[in-house]
Amino acid sequence: MTDCLGDGAGDMTPMDLYEKLTLQGETVRTLKTEKAAKADIDAALQLLLKLKVDYKQVTGQDYKAGCPPSECSVSQDNGPAADGEDMVDPWNVSTTSAKGVDYDKLIVRFGSSKIDQELVDRIERVSGQKAHRFLRRGIFFSHRDMHQVLDAYEKNKSFYLYTGRGPSSEAMHVGHLIPFIFTKWLQDTFDIPLVIQLTDDEKYLWKDLSLEDCHRYAVENAKDIIACGFDVNKTFIFSDLDYMGASPDFYRNVVKIQKHVTFNQVKGIFGFGDSDCIGKIAFPAIQAAPSFSNSFPQIFKGRKDIQCLIPCAIDQDPYFRMTRDVAPRIGYPKPALLHSTFFPALQGAQTKMSASDANSSIFLTDTPKQIKNKVNKHAFSGGKDTVEEHRKYGGNPDVDVSFMYLTFFLEDDEQLEKIRQDYASGALLTGELKKSLIETLQPMITSHQERRKQVTDETVKQFMTPRPLDFNF
Ligand code: TRP
């Protein structure tokens, strides 16, 4: 890294700054792909963040990769806002706060809407079911057009669910289950079809993996997804590598989308650079296509007007901003979205969990003993250094990872609130809090493993065969 990049913004033109920022973005990406030392990556990131703040000061606009200052009117940047340091895109999440990403700011920056109490109440009213704990607790915190979906549903117009997973390894951790647990609840609650995209093509393009491995991971991951309890008569799971070639209607939609999105647009949204392979540049159309019902003629009988609702983690939003932008131009309804927060790593809420670090998360294959050891050893604690101090001043549940995990998985609201209060007052010690978490996770993971064992290759094949589902469209 050259020192001059760190100079103040004072005498630089917007174009100078823009070019420095673009260069610095490349530097960060290169360091990451080359797996450089964490300190180097962090330093490069800090500089990138600083440049973005300078850029905003000088131009009054957010920096948008691929979009030089004079050309840009609307900005859809995913990088840090001028007043914060969180960075969220489909491949990177970083923040400097122990509480994690500031989600209210993300809503403003992404231009989505907050899932407020009114919407939670409305979902309960319309569905006649108690809201899922992920809704009650703000884990699904942001949405696009959910009111519209409910308006239509009240008038007996149905919709379908679309979610997905990028199969980058055989090992899935509990964080990966969040969208699926919630999607299962939505499917049961509204009784609607569900399509699940396994982007083995995406992982091949982005990671150093063979096509065969990516496809194998897709099938292995499908088993964990099926073990969440999806109904085979209402759910279609597909690997892109298989379905793209098998479905002319799907591929036609991919091509339509590709024709209506420019390189400049994807550069702006995803930050692609000149040295990214063309597969990456074309890929967003493949993740967009399942948002349109005529990509699945076997399910929707060729209809193109069935509304789609996508539950996903907020880092996937760039794909669907693009999708929503292109939809009206090719004559399709825009998909609606429900966004979740990130599941924190055991070490703290600064980052997403990584499937490549065995100690950063609880894996679906962990034994009860491993779960106990990991939580006790690695779960970042908001407790005080000594029992005396803890009793006196209390712990901080807001940064305590064991408490955060309990908000995801402990069903009982009252019990959770009591734990929060007792921990904050010092009545509950860190060891006791961790014990509650261990006792919540162990049976949950064990029963997942038992359900997964029941999933045979034949079951996977059933879910992954294109076929009509139990709905009449
Ligand atoms: N890109 C996602 C990932 O890497 C996978 C994905 C495809 C997805 N389609 C989706 C996730 C729809 C959520 C919703 O994990």
Q: Is 16 helix (H, G, I), strand (E, B) or coil?
A: helix
Work out which ligand 1 atom sits closest to the CA atom of 313.
13
Name the stretches of the chain with pLDDT < 70: 1-13, 15-16, 30, 57-60, 66-85, 351-356
**Quick one: which H or E segment has residue 384?**
none
Q: Is 231 helix (H, G, I), strand (E, B) or coil?
A: coil
pLDDT given for residue 12 in this prediction: 67
Read off the tokens for 88: 């969220």
Q: How far is the CA of 198 from the centre of ligand 1 (A)?
A: 7
In this structure, are residues 79 and 106 in contact, taking their beta carbons and an 8 Å threshold? no
Q: How far is the CA of 286 from the centre of ligand 1 (A)?
A: 10
Q: How far is the CA of 339 from the centre of ligand 1 (A)?
A: 12
pLDDT given for residue 434 in this prediction: 98
Q: How far is the CA of 162 from the centre of ligand 1 (A)?
A: 9
Read off the tokens for 210: 């063979």
Read off the tokens for 109: 């920056």
What is the overall mean pLDDT for the chain?
90
Q: What whole-number distance in Å separates Cα of residue 464 and Cα of residue 472?
A: 20
pLDDT given for residue 157 in this prediction: 95
pLDDT given for residue 67 in this prediction: 65
Name the pairing type of β-strands 235-239 and 344-345. Answer: unpaired
Q: Quote the pTM value.
A: 0.83
Q: What whole-number distance in Å separates Cα of residue 227 and Cα of residue 459?
A: 11
What are the contacts of 186-189 at 24+ separation with CB within 8 A?
186/161, 186/309, 186/311, 187/161, 187/230, 187/231, 187/234, 187/235, 189/127, 189/129
pLDDT given for residue 90 in this prediction: 74
Work out which ligand 1 atom sits closest to the CA atom of 311.
14
Q: Is 165 in the pocket of ligand 1 (CB under 6 A)?
A: yes
Q: Is 235 in the pocket of ligand 1 (CB under 6 A)?
A: no
pLDDT given for residue 417 in this prediction: 98
Q: Is 240 in the pocket of ligand 1 (CB under 6 A)?
A: no
Biggest CA pair distance of the chain: 68
In this structure, are residues 355 and 170 in contact, taking their beta carbons and an 8 Å threshold? no
Q: Is 312 in the pocket of ligand 1 (CB under 6 A)?
A: yes
Mutate to test the pocket of ligand 1, among 177, 194, 197 (most ligand atoms within 8 A of CB): 197
Q: Any idea of the CA torsion for 246, 248, 252, 258, to the nearest 10 degrees?
A: 20
Q: Is 163 in the pocket of ligand 1 (CB under 6 A)?
A: yes
Q: Is 166 in the pocket of ligand 1 (CB under 6 A)?
A: yes
Q: Is 291 in the pocket of ligand 1 (CB under 6 A)?
A: no
Paired with 194 in beta bridges are 161, 235
Query: What count of other Cβ atoms lies within 10 Å of the Cβ of residue 331?
Result: 10
Read off the tokens for 179: 């969208």
**Quick one: which H or E segment has residue 87?**
strand 87-88
Phi, psi of 470 (to 5 degrees): -75, 45
